[in-house]
Amino acid sequence: MPPSHSRPIFEGMEELWAPVSGGRLRYLVGGHGSPLLLVHGIAASSFSFRFNCAELMREFRVFVPDLMNVGYSERIAGLDGSLEATAARLVEFLEHVGLERTNILGSSYGGSVALKLAAMAPERFERLLLVSPANPFAQQYQPVLKFYLSSVGRIFIRLAPFTPGRIWDYGVGRMYADSRDMAPGTGLGYARPLRVKGTIRYLLSCLETFNEDIEALRDQLAVIAKIPTLLIWGDRDPVVEIQSGYQLQKALGARMAVMRGTGHLPYEEAPQEFNRILFEYLRDGSLVRNA
């Protein structure tokens, strides 16, 4: 069953459940207008977009799912953690909520999932928005990935969710350009869903196929390039280097907005500026100025 403890629900949004792959996927939805789907990162949840939805709902029908086996969705033992399987489950979700075409935004690992979905089902997209996605040109996160897949790293990742909030604040803060910009309670907001039984085992299965899955995207970029795409990157991103973003921009023929003074989570670090960029692009597809 889905996690039963307190689940954050943003003001003006409704909490609903979708049948996906034999389980229940939890999602938030609210607002009116063109649909916009927000896809979170690998160890995150809908919580990531807590500072964005209220404003975005003024012009969009916003859907914020928790991917299966993470966040506040149901845990299913043995669920395939590959990018392809994760993207296929998003197709199931889109079919359930009746979205034939939509704007899709993916952050970090969620950006990789969105890229895979774009390769599999480009007809589902109005526009693709990628926030510092892991991509075939990126190398900076490789040492961290290698550590998590080591014997010591596997122990660490299983224990980490149960460490105090201040330790999580430190860990999440390292992804910011300036951790002083982080709101109180951020660390625990990320940690709580990771404490649900089965979550870490699933995340490790995602990491085990991650490099192979990302490399497979390289040959699919030409197909993805047919979708109008915006890249958003923090110029001080410590996780996925901005240089890989420029290479991805060239491969996709995409537009790119660089947010000055932000790290890997620009929608949290500078939500008003981030939302402005989304509005500017989604209203008319115009060239976004560097933030």
Q: Is residue 291 in some structural domain?
A: no
Which residues of the chain, if any, have pLDDT below 70? 1-5, 285-291
Beta partners for residue 192, in sequence order? none
Phi/psi class of residue 203: alpha, beta or left (left: φ > 0; alpha: ψ in -120 to 50)?
A: alpha
Say how far residue 190 (Cα) sits from the centre of its chain.
Answer: 13
275 touches 243 (CB < 8 A):
no
- Assign residue 120 the CATH number of its domain: 3.40.50.1820
Closest CA to 124 of 133, 112, 115, 134: 115
- Nearest CA-CA partner of 231 in 215, 219, 248: 248
Any domain includes 100: yes
- For residue range 8-54, what is the model confidence (pLDDT) as tens digits? 999 999 999 999 999 999 999 999 999 999 999 999 999 999 999 99
User: What's residue 104's pLDDT?
Assistant: 98
Place of tokens 């860990």: 171
Whether the Cβ atoms of residue 34 and residue 61 lie closer than 8 Å to each other: yes
- Domain range holding 63? 14-284
Q: What angle do CA 113, 222, 279 make, to 5 degrees?
A: 60
Which one, of 103, 135, 143, 72, lies nearest residue 227 by Cα?
103
Angle at 35 between CA 30 and CA 36, to 5 degrees: 85
Entry pTM: 0.95
Instruction: Provide the domain count of the chain.
Output: 1
- Calpha distance 61→93 (Å, rounded): 15
Where on the phi/psi map is residue 210: left (φ > 0), alpha (ψ -120 to 50), or beta?
A: alpha
- The predicted pLDDT at position 5 comes to 53
User: What pLDDT shows up at residue 284?
Assistant: 79
* Per-residue confidence (pLDDT) for residue 169, from 0 to 100: 96
pLDDT of residue 50: 97
222 inside domain:
yes
